[in-house]
Amino acid sequence: MAQTETVTTEASVAATKPDFIHRALRHRAFMIGLVLTGTMIFLALLSLFWTPHSPTEIVISQKLKPPSMSHWFGTDQFGRDILSMIMAGAQTSIVVGLIAVSLGAVIGVSLGLWAAARRGWTEDAIMRVSDLNMAFPVILIAILLTAGWGPGITNAILALGIYNISVFARQVRGAAIGMWEREFVLAARAAGKGDVAITFGHVLPNIISVIVVQATISFAIAILAEAALSYLGVGSQPPDPSWGRMLAESQKYIFFKPVIAVWPGLAIVLSVLGLNLIGDGLRDLVDPRLARRR
Amino acid sequence: MALLSVEDLTVELQTSRGMAAAVRGVSFELERGGTLGIVGESGCGKSITALSLLGLLPDGARATGRIELDGTDLLSLDEAALCRIRGNRIAMIFQEPMTSLNPVHRIGRQIVEPLRLHRGLRGAGAQEEVLRLLDRVGLPDPARRINAYPHQLSGGQRQRVMIAIALSCAPDILLADEPTTALDVTIQGQILGLINELVEDSGMGLILISHDLGVIGETVDKVAVMYGGAVVEQGDTDNLFNNLAHPYSQGLFAAVPRPGAARPDRLQTIRGTVPELTDLPPACTFADRCAMATDICWRQVPKMAAIGPRGTVHQTACHHVEGVG
Ligand SMILES: Nc1ncnc2c1ncn2[C@@H]1O[C@H](COP(=O)(O)OP(=O)(O)OP(=O)(O)O)[C@@H](O)[C@H]1O
Ligand SMILES: [Mg+2]
């Protein structure tokens, strides 16, 4: 992903809640994103209690069936119901995204805030380590972890989480430094507040929007990366459902049964698109300067 | 002993062209309850002087000299000790009331914080004190306003809130850095009036920074005129205004059109522009723009010397002004 430098936002979200909801409802891209992401979360939650068929049950007699009333999306080469697998796969995607983003956000935001508050060599050290970390693509980190501990979803999550630490640390550092230069921070210092109180009382509340936007975009990237890692065989392992592995397994049949590759592909595209639309929409909605222009 | 005594304060800042002195050998004193005005053009070091009193200089800055508050040298204090002085013994209000309040917190919360931090007030007691302070600074309907966000107040109201925050811990000194510059004229008068009143009532000292000579003349007992980081002239307000001695002060005051005074043919201004910090003349910083400058002005830093009749307080730093023996 391209590292956009510091989205500085005027962050008066708290102050303009009704207005925010009003503008959100009229922001078409944001609403489409909300619907797509909402559908994905709904399917994942539903799959916890109910799926049309078992996503793991192999019925060889039913293999490679086209879409029908009993199998809406058809069946795969082992006769498993594709819709059920997509629904269960959404769980995997969400779990991976949630943990990888939370891990990255909690550690990355802390490091970014620390770097901005301290500046000097603390900042240099944090940023150099994060540069080094970013120089390794997620796939490489995952493969390194796999070499050490064997393949598995935990390693994929860890690899993504580690990568996200750097993403959040840089984004938050940039935004936080901008806040430290603001006059209300100088006023807070002149009132006798220490660095910790200023960081949590003044800097963090004003960059929440930057963090939320980054989180949605990182979530989308995590879904994509989980699919890629599973596709490569270093992500989730059978029989855990995963969109990436569905894609990998459908590859052999791509020429005579292309439709079974379409479903997981569509699921990945739509959920990534949905989260990106939410991220972009939020960026517009929390930035009053952009909002007024449209 | 003076409440605050600044002696030979020099502040060097990091610039793109290396370290440069933004404040050069500044000395002044403030008695308990005294009022001092600092005037000078933009960039002459007024804000940096004020911020150095609080230990809030930009990263990489170096301050030397002495800043004594009740005999304690502030320059030798660590961050934790400075935090106990900031907002508690020395409070500051800023030029831009629009940006000096945090946009995401309600007014009430922002006033409670220093009360909790320095006075340990909490709960109902703190709430009561907030209302008292807001009432004191003349914010209408304080009970409702404590729930407002800064953007819901006007510039003048926000500055009143800033003043309430500054007053909250009954400081010994109030630093006001161009507190009315961003406000329109009628509000300016009200805010200055309020500051004057509060200073008189509470007996706190005031350091008022401004480039508006009118504001200074009406508000403070003593004035220091700064140019290029140095104080070039200082003294009792009336004395100084009536007998301007330093060529820069004369130019600065002549540049101000005075209502009532016969309008000069052409508004007098000081020739040239204020140079960059790193380009300031080495000795007398005004040498390159001064009509009276001679060799010595480039070689030797002029010393502060008393001028004017005995019994008055008035000093200037100029090689071409006769001191009194
Ligand atoms: N953070 C900084 N880094 C480097 N130089 C600075 C910094 N802040 C101020 N300066 C420089 O220090 C000098 C004095 O600045 P200062 O802010 O004290 O001026 P001032 O008298 O308050 O002017 P104004 O009336 O515009 O507020 C200026 O030349 C300014 O460019
Ligand atoms: Mg200033």
pLDDT one-digit tens code per residue, B44-78: 999 999 999 999 998 889 999 999 999 899 999 99
> What pLDDT is recorded for position A287?
65
Which residue of A180, A184, A195, A204 to mutate against B (max B Cβ within 10 Å)? A184
Q: Which residues of chain B does A186 touch, with a Cβ-Cβ cutoff of 8 Å?
A: 56, 94, 100
- Asked whether B46 lines ligand 1 (CB < 6 A), one says yes
A12 interfaces chain B, CB cutoff of 8 Å = yes
Query: CA triplet B319, B313, B70: central angle to 5 degrees?
Result: 110
Burial of B210 (0-12, 13-18, 19+ CB in 10 A): buried
> What pLDDT is recorded for position A288?
53
Interface pTM, i.e. ipTM: 0.87
> What pLDDT is recorded for position B56?
93
Q: Which two tokens stand for residue B247?
A: 């060529």
Would the pLDDT of B288 be above 90?
no
B78-136 pLDDT, tens digit each: 999 999 999 999 999 998 888 899 988 999 999 998 899 888 888 888 899 999 999 98
Residue type, B152: Q
Residue A35's SS3 state is helix
Residue A111's SS3 state is helix
Q: How confident is the model at residue A12 (pLDDT cuts 50, 70, 90)?
A: very low
Residue type, B213: L
CA separation for the pair B164, B185 (Å, rounded): 21
Site to substitute for ligand 1 among B15, B46, B56, B100, most atoms within 8 A of C-beta: B46
Q: Average pLDDT of B128-146?
A: 90
CA separation for the pair A3, A135 (Å, rounded): 13
Is A186's CB within 8 Å of B100's CB? Answer: yes
Question: CA nearest B109 in A: which residue?
Answer: A201
- State how far residue B230 is from chain A, nearest Cα, in angstroms: 24
- Kindly report the average pLDDT of chain A as a whole number: 84
Residue among B110, B235, B228 at smallest CA distance from B168: B110
Contacts 24+ apart (CB under 8 A), A111-114: A111/A165, A111/A168, A111/A169, A111/A172, A111/A173, A112/A168, A112/A169, A112/A170, A112/A171, A112/A172, A112/A173, A112/A174, A112/A175, A112/A176, A113/A172, A113/A173, A113/A176, A113/A199, A113/A203, A113/A204
Q: Which two tokens stand for residue B255?
A: 């540049």
Q: What percent of chain B has pLDDT over 90?
A: 45
Burial of A5 (0-12, 13-18, 19+ CB in 10 A): exposed
Site to substitute for ligand 1 among B15, B38, B44, B285, most atoms within 8 A of C-beta: B44
Q: How confident is the model at residue A293 (pLDDT cuts 50, 70, 90)?
A: very low
Radius of gyration of chain A (CA): 22
Is A205's CB within 8 Å of B102's CB? Answer: yes
CA separation for the pair B142, B69 (Å, rounded): 34
Domains of chain B: 4-44+62-82+219-316 (3.40.50.300)
B117 neighbors B168 (Cβ within 8 angstroms):
no
Residue type, B59: D
CA separation for the pair A137, B66 (Å, rounded): 54
Nearest ligand 1 atom to the CA of B41 is 25
A11 interfaces chain B, CB cutoff of 8 Å = yes
- Pick from A119, A183, A192: which is nearest to B88 by CB? A192
Site to substitute for ligand 1 among B48, B181, B227, most atoms within 8 A of C-beta: B48
Would the pLDDT of B324 be above 70?
no
A246-282 pLDDT, tens digit each: 888 888 888 888 888 889 889 999 999 999 999 888 8
Residues 6+ apart with CB under 8 A from A72: A52, A83
> What pLDDT is recorded for position A196?
94
Is B100's CB within 8 Å of A192's CB? Answer: no
- Asked whether B230 lines ligand 1 (CB < 6 A), one says no
> What pLDDT is recorded for position A7?
36
A43-66 pLDDT, tens digit each: 999 999 988 888 888 888 878 788
Q: How confident is the model at residue B268 (pLDDT cuts 50, 70, 90)?
A: low
In this structure, the residue with its CA closest to atom 4 of ligand 1 is B15
Would the pLDDT of B217 be above 90?
no
B220-265 pLDDT, tens digit each: 999 999 999 999 999 999 888 888 889 898 888 776 655 555 544 4
Q: How confident is the model at residue A165 (pLDDT cuts 50, 70, 90)?
A: very high
Domains of chain A: 83-291 (1.10.3720.10)
A98-138 pLDDT, tens digit each: 999 999 999 999 999 999 998 888 888 888 888 888 888 87
A124 interfaces chain B, CB cutoff of 8 Å = no
> What pLDDT is recorded for position A189?
93
pTM, to two decimals: 0.83
| Ligand positioned closest to the Cα atom of B51 | 1
B114 interfaces chain A, CB cutoff of 8 Å = yes
Radius of gyration of chain B (CA): 21
Q: How confident is the model at residue A10 (pLDDT cuts 50, 70, 90)?
A: very low
B160-190 pLDDT, tens digit each: 999 999 989 889 999 999 998 888 888 888 8
Residue among A47, A3, A17 at smallest CA distance from A267: A47
| Length of chain B (residues) | 325
A167-213 pLDDT, tens digit each: 999 999 999 999 999 999 999 999 999 999 999 999 999 998 899 98
Longest dimension (CA), chain A: 77
A196 interfaces chain B, CB cutoff of 8 Å = no
Task: Name the β-bridge partners of B11.
Answer: B23, B63
Whether a cis peptide bond, with omega within 30° of 0, leads into B309 is no
Residue B231's SS3 state is strand
Q: How far is CA A204 from the centre of its chain?
A: 21
Would the pLDDT of B13 be above 70?
yes
- Asked whether B275 lines ligand 1 (CB < 6 A), one says no
Q: How confident is the model at residue A284 (pLDDT cuts 50, 70, 90)?
A: confident
Q: Which residues of chain A does B174 touch, with a Cβ-Cβ cutoff of 8 Å?
A: none
Q: How confident is the model at residue A16 (pLDDT cuts 50, 70, 90)?
A: low
- Looking at per-residue pLDDT, the higher value among B273 and A31 belongs to A31
A130 neighbors A112 (Cβ within 8 angstroms):
no
Three-state SS annotation for B252-269: HHHCCCCCCCCCCCCCCC
Q: Which two tokens stand for residue B174?
A: 């109030």
Would the pLDDT of B269 be above 80?
no
- Kindly report the average pLDDT of chain B as a whole number: 88
- Asked whether B39 lines ligand 1 (CB < 6 A), one says no
